Structure 1
Amino acid sequence: MILIAPALFMAWAIGANDSAKAVGTAVGSGIIGFKRAVMLIGVFVMLGVFLGGAGVSDTISGMSEGMTRNQVGLVLFSAATSVTLASLWGKPISTTQSIIGSLVGASLALGIPVDWWTVGKIAAAWVLSPLVAAFFAVAVYRIYSPLVKRIHGLRNLELTQKWLVFTAAAYSSFNLGANELSNVAGLLQSLGIDGPFRLVLALTLALGALTFSYNVMITVGRDISPLGPTSAFSSQFGASLAVSAANLLGLPVSSGQAIVGAISGLGLYKGEHVNTGLLLGIARGWVVAPIAAGTLSYLLLLLLA
């Protein structure tokens, strides 16, 4: 229980915060209702953590070598605490950054050598992912927008856009399981806990989405920049492409950074209003979250490990 409880807490925290990045554009644009979005998350996160997360799990499990179950439990508790505090403020932060920051803090406290080369690669991916996501979002928009104009009939247009936004949200939810939840699964895997327990993590994530994610969804889906169906699909799909590229490389990136980069990049490209004040606040959270998680982890490991 010393390890299982923090793991479930972390999965719940991912659902409370990161699920907004998977379906926030769909909910914010009014295409998918909140409860249906949570059901979609539950199904596709489960598929993602079982089918698409091997590379990320291996990277994370390698960073926790030399730690006991109790120590990994404290790492997860520290990361989950920082994510939950951000969710209380309705801010989309990076659960991935929180876990990595917590792992680094724990390693420093325990005197375990930190693989700074791997940390550097991950940090570089964090910087690049919103830029790459913005590029993909604009590219998808430029391809998709002319095609939409060729669809005849309002009913056909609405049906096409709804299904495409649904598809993009499902793809993003799959990535949420393959990337963010696989961070937790990777830590458990390093201690011999694998297989069926991934199902429990996925269900706990869905519970986090159901109980605590609405405010963060609205921040992502409405407050950064105006989103119609075309922009919602382009942003979500572009962000998913960026995260998938990172998954293939085994790099644990943030779907939150990707979707924020995609929405704001596409908004700037279209000449629409982008809430720069909100973006600055989100960016500050990206810096504060891993530092806070790392500091808490460092102190807890010194006191309790």
Structure 2
Amino acid sequence: MLSILLFLAVCFLAYSNGANDNFKGVATLFGSNTTDYKTAIRWGTFCTLLGSMCSLLLAQSLLRSFSGKGLVPSELVGSETFLFAVAIGAGTTVLIATLTGLPISTTHGLVGALVGSGLVATAGSVNQQVLFSTFVVPLLVSPLVALCLGALIYSFARIVRVRSGVTKEWCICLGQEQKTVPIPQPYSMLAVDATRQELAISVDEQIRCNQRYVGRFLGINLQSLVDRVHFLSAGVVSFARGLNDTPKIAALLLVVHVFDIRWGLAAVAITMAMGGLLNARKVAETMGHRITEMNHGQAVSANIATGFLVIVASRFGLPVSTTHVSVGALFGIGIVGRSAHYRSVATILLAWVITLPCAGTIAALTYCLVQ
């Protein structure tokens, strides 16, 4: 009976992961107005599925890391109760963040749940050295590396573009703008704010004006080439996310001997895809529009940085967070382009800090209740 509950809990975690994470790989497609939301999420889901299916061959070490082996005593690693609590703690935390539109890390949630459940189950006997070297260091370092790499790639690409004589089209934006107008109240010192629509016009490189590159490269229209590379890079990021996240979640099913772990990976991949297709909209708005404004070149630079780091980390078994890497890369290009939304990024960072204790507390309570 507990094996079935564990399987369902892992599927719940995979669904929450898909809802919060599936759009992150294609957020730049949506944020730069390259395509609409539906096309972006479908492309991201397809590429994530491919990465999930390849994870069995390319990410075996992550299966071992997220089973809890080395972090907690061996007898606890094989405990269905312990792993059930981990799945519920991480899945609930990620789902709450998804419903509020905050892109948090499932990896972070899993680490917090492993530690919280492990502390209760072993009366504080968690291997702190393994926790620090295997989990904490990669999670802390990866967003900083992504920030620097994203900024460097975009800066280099911009220098190449300028020296190649490629320019940008300027545009005139004409449309309605909502303005707030104070209306004085008779016999009162107070004024009531009201909104009204006014005709607005501006000349700028605004993202909503659909900024485009002018010129040709190797005989190909440069804007068309950038769009194709952009879709390809977004697919690589989504592929890398499926490759990195699927084994982390499926690792919780290693103790279930009723079916082969390959069926567990398939179940995780399918429920992850369902979560993205059904519940990714709020996170999409945050990732696409609230971290930074971006044009096509900035978006491609962020994707290249994210995809490279996550694939390398998956190959060597480093449990980095796609969320941390993606947000770090976007923030890096936002700093270089002077368009970063610092307040939104601060809110996301706060959510990351809360993720660990939240997942740990829910997992610990779940373990106590099941016991």
TM-score by length of 1: 0.92
**Counterpart position of 1:288:** 354
**Residues 58 and 50 (structure 1), Cα distance of their counterparts in 2 relative to 1, 3 Å cut:** farther
Select between 114-123 and 81-90 the one with higher mean Cα deviation. 114-123
Match of 1:156 among 214, 221, 224: 221
Identity %: 27
Contact 2:88 2:362 in 1 (8 A): no
Match of 1:83 among 82, 94, 117: 94
Q: Which of structures 1 and 2 has the bigger CA Rg? A: 2
Contact 2:81 2:370 in 1 (8 A): no
Are positions 1:37 and 2:40 aligned together? yes
Greater per-residue strand proportion: 2
Match of 2:147 among 134, 142, 147: 134
For 2:347 and 2:222, locate their aligned partners in 1 and report how far apart those are by CA, in whole Å: 36
**Counterpart position of 2:169:** none
Are positions 1:103 and 2:114 aligned together? yes
For 2:160 and 2:285, locate their aligned partners in 1 and report how far apart those are by CA, in whole Å: 28
- Residue-pair matches, total: 304
For 1:204 and 1:41, locate their aligned partners in 2 and report how far apart those are by CA, in whole Å: 14
Contact 2:49 2:273 in 1 (8 A): no
Are positions 1:115 and 2:127 aligned together? yes
Paired residue secondary structure (1:290): helix
Superposition pairs for residues 141-290 of structure 1, below 5 Å?
141-148=154-161, 150=164, 152-153=215-216, 156-192=221-257, 193-270=260-337, 272-290=338-356
Shift of 1:71: 2.9
Are positions 1:2 and 2:14 aligned together? no
Greater per-residue helix proportion: 1
For 1:157 and 1:217, locate their aligned partners in 2 and report how far apart those are by CA, in whole Å: 27
**Counterpart position of 2:81:** 70
- RMSD across aligned C-alpha pairs, in angstroms? 2.0
Q: Partner letter of residue 294 of structure 1?
A: G
Paired residue secondary structure (1:90): coil
Contact 2:155 2:336 in 1 (8 A): no
Shift of 1:251: 1.6
Unaligned runs of 5+ in 1: none
Shift of 1:256: 0.8
Unaligned runs of 5+ in 2: 167-214
Select between 5-14 and 141-150 the one with higher mean Cα deviation. 141-150
For 1:22 and 1:8, locate their aligned partners in 2 and report how far apart those are by CA, in whole Å: 21
